[in-house]
Amino acid sequence: VLYALDKEVAAKRERRVNKLLKASRSPNLDACIEDITYAPSRNLNKEQITRLAHCQWCQKAQSIVILGKSSVGKTYLAQALLTAACRNDYSARFFRTDTLANQLMVLRHNDTARMEFLQDLHLADVLVLDDFLTTPIDAATAHQLLNILAEREHRGSTIVTS
């Protein structure tokens, strides 16, 4: 009986994690901390990343900024941390910043849809903004992005890559 119960609990947990991952809209749902390559050229601190995988930063609504040269794996690291957050029962959303900016521009004249969209961003425990401001955006959209970040301060965690 205990074996069957354990199996059911594990299956329910896996379904919950998969639901959170799917809702995150991350382009790489398979990204995980366990698959990170710690080559010297990548200058990654395994101990620090392992600590981040425990997601205490989510519990404290702290944010993470990942900076580095192009093609060093910033996006993968952010996706792996998003996966870790979902495994720890935190909700998450993933956006390339230019895609988010375009979405905000499209919703600019539809107050109801914009408010629903922003509410979804504010309620997510973790918001990933990938390639933050690597492409030009207009002043109104920049203002909205800054408002999103300000609204999330002390309420939710944000991972920014650039």
Residue pLDDT, tens place only, 77-86: 999 999 999 9
* Gap between the Cα atoms of 21 and 44, Å rounded: 24
Print the domain residue range for 21. Answer: 2-161
Decide if pLDDT at 158 tops 80: yes
CATH number for the domain spanning 92: value is 3.40.50.300
Q: Summarize the confidence of residues 49-73 as an average pLDDT.
A: 95
Total number of domains in the chain? 1
CB atoms within 10 A of CB 162: 14
**pLDDT tens column, 110-127:** 999 999 999 999 999 999
Kindly report, residue by residue over 3-30, the tens digit of the pLDDT. 887 888 888 989 999 999 999 999 999 9
Residue 64: exposure state from Cβ atoms within 10 A (0-12, 13-18, ≥19): middle
26-47 residue pLDDT tens: 999 999 999 999 988 888 999 9
**Distance of alpha carbon 32 from alpha carbon 44, whole angstroms:** 15
